[in-house]
Chains A and B, each alone.
Chain A
Amino acid sequence: MTLALALPAGRSRPRRARGVLGPVGWTALVLVAAMVLLAALAPWLAPYPVDQQDLLHPYAGPSPAHWLGTDATGRDILSRLLWGARTSLGGPALVVALSLAVGLPTGLLAAWRGGLVDAALARVLDVVFAVPGILIAVLAVAVFEPGLTPAVLALAVAYLPYVARTTRAAARAQRDLPYVEALELQGMGGLRICVRHILPNILGVVLAQVPVAFALALVDLASLSFLGLAVQAPAADWGVLISDTSALLQGHPEQAVYAGLAIVTTVVALTFLGDRLTEGRPVARARKEKR
């Protein structure tokens, strides 16, 4: 009689706890979703083109024609905020997506192989982690030239350790569980176990880090645009809108205040969302305690 063990078709996934968000988390989620929606629909929602000047009405106050008023050259501030949301939110989204795309496989590889590969990767990640993202981005901008692309790529490298470390820690904990051993004994390849079984089990823990990483990347990228190193001046990134110092010195801080408010609202909402998502997750908690 032969012992036939069919490879399990389903995935080894624990049941997800429901209601992790709570009222605060849901409010934060709705706020973030609203911001993203506004950014996506900017071409249809914005009352004016992003760079339409009206030199006869500089620094106009709020009016039915211009809900939030106009800037030094009579451009509609509301329209510029809406258009600016596209790079201000799209940039960090790209940063997070790129660091996930590289960080997940890196973390899985380190956890699966262990030993020298793990140690070498940990060393590299430690060095990157020690250097703030903004410095890496400034260096990248010096090498290439000021612009959104080098800044996004550099920040993706800077945020790689966050993703890779969380992935490694979570995958490491799964590595020694009986189900992985069972799958190995049944002759399943390492890649397939990682992708089909370990990855779905740890994805929740890793994705829970996304809101906070997104918020950090948003601040870094807006800071770079503020410095004139990422999105460049005529464009309407939130960081660029705040960097208009001549308006500020002439006593017209409105544009900076609105853009600042947009940034702070998004960042705070993302932080609250991230807190709700990481709370009570064993891996995340262990990682926090370790630091």
Chain B
Amino acid sequence: MTVRELLRTVGAMCVSILAASFVVFASLYAAPGDAESVLFGSTTPTDEVRAAVRDQYRLDDPFLVRYVHWLGSVAHGDFGTSFVGGQSVATRLGATAPTTLALVGLAGLLLVVIGIALGVPMGLRPGRVDTVLTTVVAVVAGIPTFVSATLLIAVFAVGLGWFPAYGADGLRGLVLPALSLALVSSAMLARITRASVRAESGREYVTTARARGLPSRVVVARHILPNAAGPVITAGGLLVAALFAGAIVVENAFGIAGLGSLLVSSVNRQDFPTVQAISLLLVVVFVLTNTLVDLAARGLDPRQRRRAA
């Protein structure tokens, strides 16, 4: 990959993020609900208070000025002031983001471990076990997070009482949410791993390696797995990023105070600065992961490297 290629990809990514930030800001700017009615509710403020608040939230500035100002402050880590409670949005993000990161981290770990641990044996050994597992995995891939979350709560929290049903209390409270978050994606990763391993096992170099008398362990570890890794890494990266979207649902299902539940409660309260901040953060995460995965795939695959040059 040339430096120029890298610069172009990073440039395109920045343009995408900038475009997305504009859409996020503009759509909420155009929202029918008036910021004032959200801020004051049913109370009627005095003129001074009203002017001060309008000044604080820059409600009198033209649209583009507000956008540029918002973008500038965001670049400095200032996401504005929440409409609810007058707290700074950055403080609220700081209070919730670690929980979401812990949840996604734990789920990501589960996703990768389960997905690969299931997918590799399925891919290596065709037969009855593979057929059964393929069907099971296909069914699990069809269980949406909010369904698995509800079932996990019903069985392990309400029924058996092993875990708290609502509200995360340390790592123990994150076990069920992470499991429910990882379930669908791990099934998808298992399918992709299986397909990739299966495709590589049928290649001629594998036959050659076996013909040379290499032990099966070496053939698998040194030849098949490294070559099968490409699609697994690509899909794994995208699936881990998608966990942030799944976290919106899971956090609400389990009543965890993370970015996702903050996003939904802010939407319901029309707290636009908070919605803008979280949406922007999530979009950046998604676009960034897409770009990184793209670069990684190109870096890993010599054929793509040559084609790109």
Binding site for B on A (CB under 8 A): 123, 126-127, 130-132, 134-135, 138-144, 146, 215, 219, 222-223, 226-229, 239, 242-243, 248-249, 251, 253, 256-257, 260, 263-264, 267-268, 271-272, 291
Stretch at the interface among B47-55, B113-121, B167-175, B247-255: B247-255
In the complex, are the beta carbons of B150 and A143 less than 8 A apart?
Answer: no
A251 touches B245 (CB 8 A): no
Residues of B near any A CB (own CB < 8 A): 12, 15-16, 19-20, 24, 27-28, 30-32, 138-139, 141-147, 150-151, 153-154, 158-159, 165, 234, 242, 245, 248-249, 252-253, 263-264, 266-268, 270, 272, 275, 279, 282-283, 286-287, 290
The 5 closest A-B pairs by CB, nearest first: A253-B154, A268-B142, A132-B245, A267-B142, A260-B147
CB-CB under 8 A for A130 and B287, given A249-B165, A264-B139: yes
Query: Would B139 and A248 count as touching, CB distance under 8 A?
Result: no
Q: Which label, helix, strand, loop or mixed, suits the secondary structure of the B interface?
A: helix
Residue of B nearest to A250 (CB): B158
Alpha-carbon distance between A130 and B287 when the two chains are bound, in angstroms: 6
Report if A223-B145 is in contact (Cβ < 8 Å); known contacts: A127-B20, A141-B267, A142-B272.
Answer: yes
Q: Are B249 and A138 in contact (CB under 8 A)?
A: no
Instruction: Contact check, A126 vs B145: say whether CB atoms are below 8 A apart.
Output: no
Kindly report which residue of chain B lies nearest to residue A271, judged by CB atoms.
B142
List 18 additional A-B contacts (Cβ < 8 Å) besides A123-B12, A132-B286: A123-B16, A126-B16, A135-B279, A138-B264, A139-B275, A144-B32, A223-B144, A227-B249, A227-B264, A239-B146, A253-B150, A257-B151, A260-B143, A264-B144, A267-B142, A267-B143, A268-B142, A272-B138
Kindly state the separation between the CA atoms of A138 and B248 in the bound complex, as whole angstroms.
10
Closest to B269 in A: A142
Chain B residue contacts of A126, Cβ below 8 A: 16
Contact between chains at B30 and A143 (CB < 8 Å): yes
Contact, CB under 8 Å: B264 / A242: no
Complex interface: chain B residues within 8 A of A134 (CB): 245, 248-249
Q: Can you report 24 A-B residue pairs in the complex whose CB atoms are below 8 A from each other? A: A131-B20, A134-B245, A135-B245, A135-B283, A138-B263, A138-B267, A139-B275, A140-B27, A141-B267, A143-B31, A226-B253, A229-B264, A229-B267, A243-B146, A251-B158, A256-B154, A263-B144, A263-B147, A264-B139, A264-B142, A268-B138, A271-B138, A272-B138, A291-B234
